[in-house]
Amino acid sequence: MSHEAISVFDMFKIGVGPSSSHTLGPWRAANLFLNSLQQKNLLDKVISLEILLYGSLAKTGKGHGTDIAVQLGLCGEDPVIFDVNKIDATINDINQKKKLMLNGKYEIDFDPAEDIEFLFTETLPYHPNALTFLAALNNDEHIAETYYSVGGGFVQKEGEQLNDESNVILPFPINDADDLLHWCMKTGMSISEVVMENENAWRSEANSRLRLLEIWSVMKQSIFLGCHTEGLLPGGLNVKRRASALNKKLLKNESYNDCDSWFKKIKEGGNNFKYTLDWVSCFALAVNEQNASFGRVVTAPTNGAAGVVPAVLAYYVIFCDGNDPDSNPDKIIQFLLTASEIGSIFKKGATISAAMGGCQAEIGVSSSMAAAALTECFGGTQRQALMAAEIAMEHHLGMTCDPINGLVQIPCIERNTMGAIKAITACQLALQSAPDYAKVSLDNVIKTMWNTALDMNNKYKETADGGLAINVPLSLSEC
């Protein structure tokens, strides 16, 4: 049976906020367009460029920084390593000079106000997140290529397969939760062990482990920076950052030097319910405040939902495991491997794009990922982990995506706190339950999520045309 091979590093991508589908995806699409021109030996022949943004990319493009991302991508910058502190200066330079250094080498005339067109009323049939690059060459020829940002930073060029890695033959091919459970039962391996065996088809286990710890390092850094940065979020809503103030209140002016010593101070504060709940919320707020500020985060599985998995993993590291997973990283690797597989199953069976499925496809999926991962790390069975994933999504079904002013701020940031708490609750329920008596399977809920997505009115799919986006005054300073 055919299957789509999705790696853990497809689900967890290091990038720049505020949106995986509206920022990271278009950025990567611009990189891919440069590569296409280079392969055809046309890069130095380009004299002008025009970018057309369709559908959801147009409607919320300004709020999500789609125009900024495309320009940085065309400059040849890499979202994984680009210094986010240079974003404003780079974009301002392009605006002032009306020039763009294509791939960092070839200067062309480029006026963002004229050459990036937001087509608010046009949507291409394949996916709401579409963009077309139109290049004029010095021999009077023209090149046009269309790309689709299909969620989670995944990009598909029109007429091509989504991912060349889909051709990789995995030892344990998985399309749905039943497939995953089949391999677990047949081999006796845990979910994370099955996933690692599949990852070995791409690279060595040692390499995978190092890269997973890098993913965790970026997650930790986004939590730490978010908890130590004050001020207002950009975009005009004047939303005040809250994670930093909450961090100070909870730690009561304790001193520390870095993220690791900060984690230890948090742990020393105890583990009563209210204290723990406040910290989980603080972690999630921190990541998504960073995301909203064009900071570096990890898609998990998207940028808009980037705070859930890190918040739950930080909860596990600080409050739940006496073996100190940072010193013995097996548990962190186990958590991320398990979470990624749940996310990939949702992507295959439904969507992780809010423009296709509403916020259930982002916060709902991230909550399911975190719930399953936490359950396995607590020693739950494979069935209990899948049950936790199902419970988490079941209580996100129908959640709309209605960002005020098209910004990934209200209600997106707080929704990450809710997704994290629901993940922990789903884990606890699953650990105290017998999955054999469950009435709803994970595959059932994924199918239901997709049906719900198809039925959902388009104005609730990341367009800022409905819900809170039209019912809350834009002068509101805090939700």
Q: Do 239 and 182 belong together in one domain?
A: yes
Three-class secondary structure of residue 238 per DSSP: coil
SS3 content of the chain, % helix, strand, coil (to 5): 55, 10, 35
Q: Do 105 and 191 belong together in one domain?
A: no
Enumerate residues 6+ apart whose C-beta is below 8 A from 90: 71, 72, 75, 77
Q: What's the burial of 208, exposed, middle or buried (CB within 10 Å: 0-12/13-18/19+)?
A: buried
Q: Do 238 and 386 belong together in one domain?
A: yes
Q: Do 102 and 177 belong together in one domain?
A: no
Among 148, 164, 180, where does a domain finish? 164
Closest CA to 110 of 127, 98, 124: 98
Give pLDDT, residue 479: 41
For residue 13, being part of any structural domain is answered with: no
Q: Do 214 and 141 belong together in one domain?
A: no
For residue 52, being part of any structural domain is answered with: yes
Q: Is the pTM of this model over 0.85?
A: yes
Q: Do 272 and 125 belong together in one domain?
A: no
For residue 149, being part of any structural domain is answered with: yes
Give pLDDT, residue 168: 87
Give pLDDT, residue 288: 98
Q: Do 58 and 175 belong together in one domain?
A: no
Give pLDDT, residue 476: 45
Contact 234, 293 (CB under 8 A): yes
For residue 478, being part of any structural domain is answered with: no
Closest CA to 198 of 179, 222, 223: 179
For residue 15, being part of any structural domain is answered with: no
For residue 407, being part of any structural domain is answered with: yes
The CA distance from 373 to 371, in Å, is 6
Give pLDDT, residue 4: 84
- Total structural domains in the chain? 2
Among 164, 184, 211, where does a domain finish? 164
Q: Do 29 and 136 belong together in one domain?
A: yes
Give pLDDT, residue 164: 47
For residue 9, being part of any structural domain is answered with: no
Torsions phi, psi for 424 (to 5 deg) = -65, -40
For residue 6, being part of any structural domain is answered with: no
Taking CB atoms within 8 Å and a gap of at least 24, the contacts of 141-144 are 143/37, 143/40, 143/42
Give pLDDT, residue 3: 72
CATH number, domain containing residue 140: 3.30.1330.90
Q: Torsion angle, CA of 329/177/381/337, rounded to 10 degrees?
A: 0
Q: Do 148 and 172 belong together in one domain?
A: no
Residue 234 lies in domain: 168-471
Q: Do 264 and 372 belong together in one domain?
A: yes
Q: Do 300 and 398 belong together in one domain?
A: yes
Q: Do 201 and 86 belong together in one domain?
A: no
Residues of the chain with pLDDT under 50: 1, 163-165, 476-479
Among 142, 164, 186, where does a domain finish? 164
